[in-house]
């Protein structure tokens, strides 16, 4: 029996991996914007150093989040039929590429590692994440991606 909700392929006992991983890069990239702003205002190197670490940690975890997300995306045709899913995927890939660039800009020494290019990239990434996040929530809360049906057994949802 096919479950009525789009299924998460990369999941453990009915718990989709992607949504467990995405908060980490999300928080890291939002944090980068905050510490970049503080560095811009104070020129205290500590804040720029924290930005550089946040970017690297965010990118490393993002790699796993992307893998899990793409497995879900290609694992169920019904996900690919959702418009928010496409916005989510393309937007996040763009944000990730910008974050990689941003991480390289942050390897520069002192002021120009943040101002202005790094700061602009950090802000762009967060703006894109707001859009992709909104669409990601649409997928789960409006279209029930990866959500178990009431009255349907866990065993059925996880059937392979």
Partner 1 sequence: MKPAKAPVQSAGFALAIAAITTLAACGPDPVDPNRQLGANPDLPAIHEYLLPPMHVAEVVGWNGATPTVPSDLKIQAFATKLANPRSLYVLPNGDVLVVETGGPPGPVSRPKELVMNWVEKMAHSRTKPGQRILLFRDTNGDGLPDQQTVFIDHLNSPFGVVLVGSDLYVADTDAVIRYPYTTGDTKITAPGVKLCDLPGGPIDHHWTKSLTASPDGTKLYAGVGSNSNITENGIQAEVGRAAIWEIDRATGSHREYGTGLRNPNGLQFEPQTHVLWAVVNERDELGPDLVPDYLTSVKDGAFYGWPYSYYGQHVDPRVQPQRPDLVAKAIPPDYALSSHVAPLGLVFYTGTNLPAHYRGGAFVGEHGSWDRSILNGYKVVYVPFENGRPSGQAEDVVTGFLVDGDKARGRPVGLAVDSQGGLLIADDTGNSVWRVTGKSP
Among 12, 23, 112, 137, indicate the residue that binds partner 1 (CB under 8 A).
112
CB of 91 to partner 1, least distance (A): 8
Q: How many CA atoms lie within 13 A of 138 on its CB side?
A: 14
> Scanning residues 120 to 149, which ones bind partner 1 (CB under 8 A)?
143
Peptide bond into 54 cis (omega under 30): no
Using CA atoms, how far residue 53 sits from 36, 47, 48, 49, in Å, is: 12, 10, 9, 6
d(CA 106, CA 140): 34
Q: Which is nearer to partner 1, 20 or 144 (CB)?
A: 144
At 116, give phi and psi (nearest 5°). Answer: -95, -20
Please, are residues 132 and 88 in contact by the beta-carbon 8 Å criterion?
Answer: yes
Select from 15-23, 45-53, 62-70, 152-160 the region that touches partner 1 (CB under 8 A): 45-53
For partner 1, give the closer residue by CB, 20 or 123.
123
- 32: which residues sit within 8 A by CB, 6+ positions away? 51, 54, 55, 58, 102, 122, 125
Q: Does 152 bind partner 1 (CB under 8 A)?
A: no
Could you tell me which stretch among 8-16, 42-50, 118-126, 151-159 binds partner 1 (CB under 8 A)?
Answer: 42-50
Q: Which residues contact 14 (CB under 8 A, 6 or more apart)?
A: 148, 154, 157, 158
Q: Count of residues binding partner 1 (CB under 8 A)?
A: 36
Question: Which of 12, 23, 43, 130 touches partner 1 by CB under 8 A?
Answer: 43
Q: Is 31 in the site for partner 1 (CB under 8 A)?
A: no
Q: Would you tell me which residues interact with partner 1 (CB under 8 A)?
A: 43-46, 48-49, 52-53, 56, 78, 80-83, 86-87, 90-91, 93-94, 97-98, 100-101, 104-113, 115, 143
């Amino acid at each position: 029996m096919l479950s009525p909700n789009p299924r998460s392929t990369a999941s453990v006992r009915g718990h989709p991996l992607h949504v467990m991983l995405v908060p980490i890069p999300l928080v890291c990239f939002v944090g980068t914007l905050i510490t970049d702003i503080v560095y811009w205002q104070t020129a205290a190197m500590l804040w720029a150093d924290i930005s550089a670490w946040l970017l690297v940690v965010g990118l490393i975890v993002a790699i796993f989040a992307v893998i899990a997300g793409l497995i879900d995306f290609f694992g169920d045709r019904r996900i690919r039929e959702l418009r928010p899913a496409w916005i989510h995927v393309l937007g996040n890939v763009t944000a990730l590429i910008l974050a990689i660039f941003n991480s390289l800009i942050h390897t520069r020494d002192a002021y120009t590692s943040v101002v202005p290019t790094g700061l602009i990239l950090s802000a762009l990434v967060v703006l894109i994440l707001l859009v992709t996040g909104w669409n990601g929530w649409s997928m789960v809360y409006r279209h029930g991606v990866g959500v178990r049906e009431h009255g349907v057994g866990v065993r059925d949802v996880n059937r392979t």
